[in-house]
Amino acid sequence: MKIARFSRIGFILAAAGSAVGLGNIWKFPYIAGEYGGGAFVLVYLATVLLIGFSIMIAEMLIGYLGRRDTVTSFEVLAPRHKNFWKYGGFQGLAGLFIMIFYSVVIGWIFNYIVTSLYTLPATVNEAEKTFTTMLHSDFFTQLFYHTLSFIGITYVLNRGIKGGIEKLNLILMPLLMIILGGMFIYATTLGAFSQAVEFMFAPDWSKIDSEAFVIAVGHAFFTLSLGMGAIMTYAASLEKDSSLVKAAFWVVFLDTAIAIVAGLMLFTFLYQYGSGPAKGPGLVFISLPAAFYEMGILGNIFAVLFFLALAFAGLTSSVSLVEPMVQYFIDRFSWSRLRAAVAMGTFFWFLGIFAILSNIDGAKEYLTWGGKNFFDWVDYFTAAIMLPLGGLIMAIFVGFIIPRNEVEKVMRPQLKWAFNAWYFSLRYVTPVAMFVVMLSLMGVI
Ligand code: PHE
């Protein structure tokens, strides 16, 4: 069987499409708001540069050398103890878990694209009512759009790397950048732009505690799609002799730039027309639509375009979240693509129903434990535990397990003088940082 491969630009766009997702446009602004802005943003940026970039290269390298699904890649690259290391590849499961809530949120976005066409809430209170009514009592609307998202994602995955994933990204990523770029330029002409800059970049270190720190590190992983085999699976279909460093650079750059652009734009609109930097997951669904309302008909256009861009970002990430396990069943169990895509899709679709129910009045009581409902637990568990753990495993695997000469053969010509710094960071800096994050999560420190 001839294996379909990404073109070079296709790979960069697909990996960037994976990285740029709801994490950048929905999650990043609201957690930045929640943890006080500037200081949090700086911790996140530092993690992206110091740790994220080097793990991005490491994760690409495992896929690039392994050339197979994540589990097999770990297996063939471990010189000894294959049966132990292959479990590193099961990080791909994290993607399916993330999809449980990710697809539900994409569903909300679909719903907002449709309703923003003809109506926007006049006040924040009204917007809040619309959102919470959907969230707490409208099970069927959520189910309908969640199902639509499941169908779209499964359809693309079934079409494979070239005709599905690459094509989707070649179309949606440029559109996304044009929409956000255009809205950002408009935002820079508004008076409130400087307030947004100040909010995002002026650090108030008193707002950073160990929880904020852990969330910032976890988010850096989440937003770069690291630690769960998405990037690895894509890199397995990369042409030989491609530069991993260049690709990693572009992915990290685009991801960070889009998060900052989206954040600045949203906060500008919120300062200018709305209620200031709102907090919580409702930010883009509550405060933002009310701010758009103030802009008149332009607001409607902006709202539709914005939610479209958000949906594009979400869909390109979704396919990368599911593809590792699809690839796993194709490679290891010789499943057809159709069967693997439908089976994985059904998994997140089904559990997604419980994520919806965990917000619905009358059902949520049964799906809430320790102050978090099922939806929030999946989010917390994947972003704060599974992804850092996956990153830790990958750093150790490339740093200590794959024979050094194999790593050097590929990476030294690309990294040149920076090779030693990269290798050192993988072996010592990243594992220690990840370990501290985990201890603090477990409440040990
Ligand atoms: N990076 C995506 C986002 O920011 C989410 C994601 C995480 C995608 C892990 C793939 C793997 O929304």
Domain extent for 333: 8-441
Nearest to 132 by CA among 307, 281, 292, 354: 281
- CB-ligand 1 contact for 321 (6 Å cutoff): yes
Residue 413 alpha carbon to ligand 1 centre in Å: 29
- CB-ligand 1 contact for 254 (6 Å cutoff): no
91-107: b (≥16 Cβ within 10 Å) or e: bbbbbbbbbbbbbbbbb
Please check whether residue 286 lies inside any domain of the structure: yes
pLDDT (0 to 100) of residue 1 = 42
Please check whether residue 263 lies inside any domain of the structure: yes
Q: In this model, does residue 242 exceed pLDDT 90?
A: no
Paired tokens of 268:
């500008």
Which of the listed residues 27, 225, 312, 394 should we mutate to test ligand 1's pocket, taking the one with most ligand atoms within 8 A of CB?
225
Q: What does the radius of gyration of the chain's CA atoms come to, in whole angstroms?
A: 21
Band the pLDDT of 2: cuts 50, 70, 90. very low
Q: What is the Cα–Cα distance from 184 to 340, expressed in whole angstroms?
A: 39
Please report the beta strands in 78-171, taking only residues with DSSP state E, as ranges in sequence order. none
Please give the model's pTM, rounded to 2 decimal places.
0.93
Range 257-261 average pLDDT: 95
Quick count: other Cβ atoms within 10 Å of Cβ 329?
Answer: 18
Contact 321, 102 (CB under 8 A): yes
pLDDT (0 to 100) of residue 279 = 63
Q: What CATH number is attached to the domain comprising 346? A: 1.10.4160
Q: What atom of ligand 1 comes closest to residue 22's alpha carbon?
A: 12
Range 161-173 average pLDDT: 94
Please check whether residue 359 lies inside any domain of the structure: yes
The greatest distance separating any two alpha carbons of the chain, rounded to the nearest whole angstrom, comes to 65
Residue 275 alpha carbon to ligand 1 centre in Å: 29
Q: What is the Cα–Cα distance from 243 to 245, expressed in whole angstroms?
A: 5
Percent of the chain at pLDDT exceeding 70: 97
- CB-ligand 1 contact for 233 (6 Å cutoff): no
Nearest to 178 by CA among 119, 258, 114, 239: 258
Residue 239 CA neighbour count, 13 Å, CB half: 12
Q: What is the Cα–Cα distance from 194 to 364, expressed in whole angstroms?
A: 41
Please check whether residue 64 lies inside any domain of the structure: yes
Domain count across the chain? 1
Contact 403, 58 (CB under 8 A): no
* Alpha carbon nearest to ligand 1 atom 7, residue: 225
Please check whether residue 1 lies inside any domain of the structure: no
Residue-averaged pLDDT of the chain: 91
Which whole-number Å values give the CA distances from 377 to 47, 98, 100, 152, 383, in the listed order? 24, 10, 11, 26, 10
* Alpha carbon nearest to ligand 1 atom 11, residue: 225
Please check whether residue 2 lies inside any domain of the structure: no
- CB-ligand 1 contact for 28 (6 Å cutoff): no
- CB-ligand 1 contact for 226 (6 Å cutoff): no
- CB-ligand 1 contact for 316 (6 Å cutoff): no
Please check whether residue 164 lies inside any domain of the structure: yes
Please check whether residue 350 lies inside any domain of the structure: yes
- CB-ligand 1 contact for 157 (6 Å cutoff): no
